[in-house]
Amino acid sequence: MTAPDTTRSESLFARARAVTPGGVNSPVRAFKNVGGVPRFIASARGAHLTDVDGQTYIDYVGSWGPMILGHDHPAVRGAIADALTRGTSFGAPSAGEVELAELVTRITGAERVRFVNSGTEATMSALRLARGFTGRKYILKFRGNYHGHADGLLVEAGSGLLTHSAGQLGTSAPSSAGVPEEYAALTLVTEYNDPSGLDALMRERGHEIAAVIFEPVVGNAGVLLPTPEFLAALHRVGERGTLLIADEVMTGFRLSPNGATGLLGLRPDLTCWGKIIGGGLPVGAYGGRAEVMDFVSPQGPVYQAGTLSGNPLAMAAGLATLRQLQADPGVYARLEAYTTRLAAGLRDAAREAGVPLTVNHVGSMLTAFFQPEGQIRTYADAARSDTAAFAAWFQAMLARGVYWAPSQFESIFVSAAHTDLELNATLDAARAAYKGA
């Protein structure tokens, strides 16, 4: 294999590092976990990315989730172009916001929805709302789940650094500098997929917990699926007046028309969305029961606002994406079929090469964990993976034109633009990459 040409990416990365921390605007893009030069992308179409050195890749990142239809989908591009002719931001309500809210409430069963600009804003706002509604201070999250970078959520956010402080059950330290311990102390943490741990924490402290926030299917520790027992324990939190907040930023509109909620039969009080709901433009949203949502200003006392919230271009992109998905009910089955075949192919290739591998997948989300075949259900399970072997495989895939997620602890995303052509090319690359060829 000749080394890929990265001349222009390298030069842009050097310029970027001089003016931006680490050269990137979101950490995982820097390839720190896998080494090598991050590819600067010049353009994207369908299932493919093209970098500034002219190399084309089969894309399994999909902008970390939004691009479920593939890049540059004509319906989405057309909707944005059409909206563009009418102006880019009004700071006043417009029809697109109503139409997208009507569609989201119809698909998801949420009675009210509020648009924000990112997944981080959605979870941050939903938690403030839960605290305002219940009059309680504490929130509960699960180890290794990621809910964006609001202060109180950067606790055990997929990282291993934990010190149980003050001997209080479930209390833990921040996983980022700059988060005061006093904030982190309001976030209780327990293990994902541990129903008895959750029950115990709720028994002891449920009366002071405003909300339990969770990834219904985890993508941010690699893909982890919830057990039925864990889902049942989640539903029990309502018995103590605690709100259940499903963070569907990654899974919403991806795992089914109504995300993981639809797939798993969940009944959350509030749901957070992002990624697909903006069709590749910056959008987040939170929604749920009217009784709770009507606590949000100006209807209620919980303040939340945004200069660009409900932006007309973003609403147009989100509407076009959701309408396209609605118009093609077979799309979810096709996405799942591709992903299932990808999983099987990766397993077979790894076995043939003698590489230990466990593949977790659901719908169009998949993680290939470099560890012996077995059950991976918690962050601690995922953390046993051989990250050096993953990094080597990642580089070998990249050199063969496959852009995998540049971290062992992330999901990859399949889009509707991925066809048999991409599947076969990916598995050819994977076979060679496992063999270290």
| Residues labelled catalytic | 146, 247, 275
* Least Cβ distance, residue 135 to ligand PMP (angstroms): 25
Closest residue to ligand PMP, based on beta-carbon distance: 119
Q: Closer CB to ligand PMP, residue 64 or residue 115?
A: 64
Q: Closer CB to ligand PMP, residue 133 or residue 142?
A: 142
Write out the residues near ligand PMP by the rule CB under 6 A.
64, 118-120, 123, 146-148, 215, 219-220, 247, 249-250, 274, 284
Q: Closer CB to ligand PMP, residue 266 or residue 429?
A: 266
Q: Closer CB to ligand PMP, residue 194 or residue 247?
A: 247
* Least Cβ distance, residue 202 to ligand PMP (angstroms): 22
* Least Cβ distance, residue 407 to ligand PMP (angstroms): 12
3-state DSSP of the chain:
CCCCCCHHHHHHHHHHHHHCHHHCCCHHHHCCCCCCCCCCEEEEEECEEEECCCCEEEECCHHHCCCCCCECCHHHHHHHHHHHCCCCCCCCCCHHHHHHHHHHHHHHCCCEEEEECCHHHHHHHHHHHHHHHHCCCEEEEECCCCCCCCHHHCECCCCCCCCCCCCCCCECCECCCCCCHHHHCCEEEECCCCHHHHHHHHHHHHHHEEEEEECCCECECECECCCHHHHHHHHHHHHHCCEEEEECCCCCCCCCCCHHHHHHCCCCCEEEECHHHHCCCCCEEEEECHHHHCCECCCCCECCCCCCCCCHHHHHHHHHHHHHHHCCCCHHHHHHHHHHHHHHHHHHHHHHHCCCCEEEEECCEEEEECCCCCCCCCHHHHCCCCHHHHHHHHHHHHHCCEECCCCCCCCEECCCCCCHHHHHHHHHHHHHHHCCC
Q: Closer CB to ligand PMP, residue 274 or residue 288?
A: 274
Q: Closer CB to ligand PMP, residue 310 or residue 345?
A: 310
* Least Cβ distance, residue 155 to ligand PMP (angstroms): 14
* Least Cβ distance, residue 89 to ligand PMP (angstroms): 19
* Least Cβ distance, residue 125 to ligand PMP (angstroms): 12
